[in-house]
A and B are shown apart, each in its own frame.
Chain A
């Protein structure tokens, strides 16, 4: 089963459809994205170039079963297709965050949250939260 994201002119993912692998075979019997795009154009009334194949098993630029990651993340509704980086991006969590292409995720401008919580703090529900105004990771406690 293959998956294709339907994207808008703004590269936003509108929906994701599945396609039988047999519907995207080229003349040589090899799976070909352009054949799938053409099939979807014919049957779903949306231009072929606005259907982009996505991998159900890829997340954070890693393949779940150890295979080859494909286009960063499995596309979801509201994700953005980045043709230059060949990645589907989830929504940006904060305005200041930047792309971290190696792991196909957003990262704060000062990096990830510190990994220095004690086991007691973790057990008590303490964690780091991003402060967009102060541009810092702050310890927060939630019971």
Chain B
């Protein structure tokens, strides 16, 4: 008896464990997200962003043999008790130019919950919840719809998103 896996929906998550004294400067990323939100400009390129992006690409490559190419990046600020609208980073009528993976990074977050929806064959609309913590990333297929919830009433949550294609 044989088995062939035709498709796989995998989520990759964990801490961004940079070498000592080379940690991601999350305060700088907060500044960039704030600046981008206030000016409506694209996120500034910075060494800190490059460190984060390179870490994800290197480790996903070596641990899971997936070669990632950047598509886009942006930062979001979520107000206390805010739940986003359903988020989907692909364009269903332009899949050719849509990303393969969405990566969320906890820049400055507290009680930040991510709910990712998926179909398991006949069992449609299932979801998986995970708490996004500071300096943690979650990467999942961009075809999966998701919500981000700020579950507390005192702080803003800052989340950086990077989308990738794989080759």
Binding site for B on A (CB under 8 A): 6, 8-9, 12-15, 44-47, 50, 77-78
Assess the A45–B19 pair: CB atoms within 8 A.
Answer: no
CB neighbours (8 Å) of B17 from chain A are 9
Assess the A15–B22 pair: CB atoms within 8 A.
Answer: no
Assess the A13–B47 pair: CB atoms within 8 A.
Answer: no
Known: A9-B19, A45-B50. 6 other contacts (CB 8 A): A8-B62, A9-B17, A14-B62, A15-B58, A45-B22, A47-B22
CB neighbours (8 Å) of B47 from chain A are 45
CB neighbours (8 Å) of A12 from chain B are 62
Give complex CA distance A123, B159 in Å.
61
B51 to chain A, nearest CB (A): 5
CB neighbours (8 Å) of B51 from chain A are 45
CB neighbours (8 Å) of B58 from chain A are 6, 14-15
Assess the B19–A50 pair: CB atoms within 8 A.
Answer: yes
Give complex CA distance A78, B58 in Å.
10
B12 located at the interface, meaning its Cβ lies under 8 Å from any Cβ of chain A in the complex: no
- Decide if the interface of chain B is mainly helix, strand, loop or mixed: helix
B61 located at the interface, meaning its Cβ lies under 8 Å from any Cβ of chain A in the complex: yes
B59 located at the interface, meaning its Cβ lies under 8 Å from any Cβ of chain A in the complex: yes
Contact of A78 among B21, B22, B54, B62 (CB under 8 A): B62
CB neighbours (8 Å) of B61 from chain A are 14-15, 77
Which of A14, A47, A77 has the most C-beta atoms of chain B within 10 angstroms of its own C-beta?
A14
CB neighbours (8 Å) of A9 from chain B are 17, 19
Instruction: Closest A residue to B51 by CB, please name it.
Output: A45
Interface pairs (6), CB distance under 8 Å = A8-B59, A9-B19, A14-B62, A45-B51, A46-B22, A78-B62
CB neighbours (8 Å) of A44 from chain B are 54
Assess the B62–A13 pair: CB atoms within 8 A.
Answer: yes
Residues B93-127 near A (CB distance < 8 A): none
Contact of A77 among B19, B22, B54, B62 (CB under 8 A): B62
Give complex CA distance A8, B58 in Å.
10
Give complex CA distance A13, B51 in Å.
17
Residues B1-56 near A (CB distance < 8 A): 17, 19, 21-22, 47, 50-51, 54
Contact of A45 among B21, B54, B59, B62 (CB under 8 A): B54
Give complex CA distance A45, B21 in Å.
11
Give complex CA distance A33, B160 in Å.
36
Task: Rank and list the top 5 A-B pairs by shortest CB-CB distance, nearest first.
Answer: A14-B58, A45-B51, A47-B19, A14-B62, A77-B62
Give complex CA distance A78, B54 in Å.
16
Give complex CA distance A13, B19 in Å.
14
Give complex CA distance A47, B19 in Å.
8
CB neighbours (8 Å) of B21 from chain A are 47
